[in-house]
Amino acid sequence: MAPDVQELFEAARAVQERAHAPYSRFRVGAAVRAASGTIYVGCNVENAAYPQGSCAEAGAISAMVAGGERHIVAVLTVTDGTELSTCCGGCRQRIREFAAGDTPVHAAGRDGLWATFTLDELLPSSFGPENLPPR
Ligand SMILES: [Zn+2]
């Protein structure tokens, strides 16, 4: 694993431990690297009213925006599953708001990296901010 990806993996693994997943027991950690190089992390947060739960990626993106940044250069998620798990459809669109099509999105399990995609591979022909008329 490349050092920059390893750093994302370790950050995602650490925050995965804090996930609130008492219902699914499917803990997810996410790490996004912003343009400054800073890594922002998030974990899934489930809720007894199930639809109110939120994804790890959403938490990481929220932390990035709260930190004053608006550009993602890499994403990594980690799960405990035994099969490849990639970002859900909603999170692909959340990432799209702040990332270019060639942004790497890494999917990892507890023991290491499973696969790397570009955002365009995960969300082809996507809709983004530039599709809206100028303000
Ligand atoms: Zn998601």
Return d(Cα 96, Cα 35) in angstroms, integer: 15
* pLDDT of 81 above 90: no
pLDDT digits (tens, 9 = 90+) for 55-71: 999 999 999 999 999 99
* pLDDT of 78 above 90: yes
Model pTM score: 0.96
The pLDDT assigned to 105 comes to 98
* Residues within 5 Å of ion ligand 1, judged at the Cβ atom: 55, 88, 91
Average pLDDT rounded to a whole number, residues 89-95: 98
Burial (CB count <10 Å: 0-12, 13-18, 19+), residue 8 = buried
Catalytic sites, residue numbers: 57
Return d(Cα 121, Cα 123) in angstroms, integer: 6
Average pLDDT rounded to a whole number, residues 47-57: 98
- pLDDT category at 82 given cuts 50, 70, 90 is confident
Q: How far is the CA of 32 from the centre of ligand 1 (A)?
A: 14
Q: How far is the CA of 55 from the centre of ligand 1 (A)?
A: 5
* pLDDT of 135 above 90: no
